[in-house]
Structure 1
Amino acid sequence: MSREDSGAAVARKPARKPVVPRRVLRDGVYDAILEKLLDGSTPPGSSLGIDSLARELEVSPTPVREALVQLEHTGLVSRVALKGYRVAPPLSPEQLAELFDMRGILEIAAVERAVSQAEDLVPELRAAHAQHVLCAHRVRKLRGTGGRPTDFADLREYFAADWEFHLTIMRAAGNRFLNRAADQLSAHVHRLRQTADHGAMDIDQAVDEHAAILAAFESGDPERPVAAMRAHLGAVARRVSADG
């Protein structure tokens, strides 16, 4: 083969497709399945067929399979031999206790480290709290107009804003491994929404407790944020236990 022919062969070689679009597709499928797990449309124990999900989402089975493997690591789904994937059962009382124990370990450590960054953190925390308040207002408005927001779509922004307040503090701790642990924890925190009674949500309490955490950071007292976060997590745990 001449040098010219060799160059032409190289030129004809198809360009390698970028991996980004596939990653974006996989993440989109993951988010779509996650919402199905959290909105009540697929109750605990439900079967999750790869082919049926692929048809519903109008994608190939590959990103669905990848998303289910990723969700299995979060504990939201489980794989049964010869039966495929199923939605995991609700958290048991023991698992709930362990979850809140882990939240306490992780989030109190984050608060202790974030205190030294309060000057930069407070403006971001004010913005996160304002978004939480706005989303809470929208949910109250739905209730006030005769609506009972049982549709997860109505509550998705509220749940996201609630958790973003906590993530803002954890990011301020400046520890990448703590942030990775928070990412893994988030799926389990949202898992509580699988069986939550949307009509008995703790919106008012959560908003007030977040306001107390914000005020504690604004005070400049390094002990107050820790106490405020510990009080909030304890109150949430009690409310969840009472609902169960």
Structure 2
Amino acid sequence: MVAKELENRLKGRVPAARRSVLTEDVYERVKSLIMNRDLEPGARVNIYAVARLLDVSQTPVREVLSALESEGLLTKEALRGYSVAPVLSPGQIADLYQLRLLLEPWAAARAAERVTAGAGERMRAELATVPQAPRGTRYEDYHGLSEHDARFHDLIAELSGSEALREALRRTHCHLHLFRLGYEGRDTGDRTLVEHSRVAEAVAAGDQEAASEAMRAHLAAARDRFLEIGP
């Protein structure tokens, strides 16, 4: 439960949600609490306490908690309400990457086979959204990189032409859950951006073998980085 002592501890550094974009603000505030582990895995999340903490009504909080449940960040039990979901275990990380290593190198090769000038421009535009890796290690610092990571992999899946593969990756919410394990700062981000650039360059060049290998190398390196962080 978001207990009174947690409210007291966070009240001074959790800004009240802006009324103009209320639901979006509440969503980001609550997600930040989860991603930064201000709300630890297993912690109960009380609708009324969250509403008081953010100085908003209960209605947007209910909507946001439902959305976060659909993304796997919260769980809901009858008569108990919402709790923060566990982080991925090493076995779950390895299992997730085993699936991705089966699907995404193929998607990159297929995207290279089907590449157009417009596709190349879209990849370059996506890479430009994060010109340099973030330095901080809190969610507020690195969420732009996390969102770029999700968009980049989704774009490769889209360019492969397989909507089934794209939807399968979306349903895992893997980027959100992996970044929830932690972000170790600039070195991690720099390596991620370099690896994305290599994938994009190979796809844009229409080199199917290089695109597949670049994606495979990126996923293997990312898997190892997250396994080093651990739960």
Bin of the TM-score, shorter chain as denominator length: 0.7 to 0.9
Counterpart pick for 1:240 among 216, 226, 229: 226
More helix by percentage: 1
My pick for the range that moved more, 159-168 or 86-95, is 159-168
Structure 1 residue 28: Cα displacement? 5.4
Q: How far apart are residue 198 of structure 1 and its match? A: 3.0
**Displacement of 1:225:** 0.6
Q: From 36, 40, 50, give the equivalent of 2:33.
A: 36
1:173 alignment counterpart: 160
Rounded to whole Å, the distance in 1 between the matches of 2:162 and 2:51 is 37
Give the structure 2 partner of residue 220 of structure 1.
206
Q: Deviations over 1:100-121 (max 9, x none)?
A: 1232234234323322331232
Say yes or no: does 1:75 pair with 2:72: yes
Report matched runs for 1:93-242 at 5 Å. Answer: 93-119=90-116, 120-132=118-130, 134-136=131-133, 139-140=134-135, 149-186=136-173, 188-199=174-185, 202-242=188-228
Offset at 1:233? 0.3
What is the Cα deviation at residue 242 of structure 1?
Answer: 2.2
Q: 1:199 to 1:107 in 2, by over 3 A?
A: same
Among candidates 69, 77, 85, match of residue 88 of structure 1: 85
Following the alignment from structure 1 to structure 2, what is the Cα–Cα distance between the partners of residues 221 and 209? 16
Does the Cα contact within 8 Å between 1:40 and 1:195 map onto a contact in 2? no
C-alpha contact (below 8 Å) 1:121/1:172 kept by paired residues = yes
SS in 1 for 2:129: helix
CA shift at 1:197, angstroms? 4.5
CA distance in 2, matches of 1:102, 1:26: 34
- The CA RMSD over aligned residues, in Å, is 2.6
Unaligned runs of 5+ in 1: 1-23, 141-148
Give the TM-score of the pair, scaled to structure 2: 0.77
Q: Which amino acid aligns with 1:51?
A: Y
Larger radius of gyration: 1
How far the C-alpha of 1:213 sits from its partner, in A, is 0.9
Q: Could you list the runs of 5+ residues in structure 2 that have no partner in the other structure?
A: 1-20
Query: Residues 47 and 87 of structure 1 are in contact (CA less than 8 Å); yes or no, is this contact kept in structure 2?
Result: yes
* Number of aligned residues: 209
**Distance in 1 separating the partners of 2:186 and 2:22:** 35
Q: Could you tell me which amino acid in structure 1 is paired with residue 115 of structure 2?
A: A
Distance across 2 between alignment mates of 1:176 and 1:28: 31
TM-score by length of 1: 0.73
Query: Among the aligned pairs, what percent are the same residue?
Result: 35
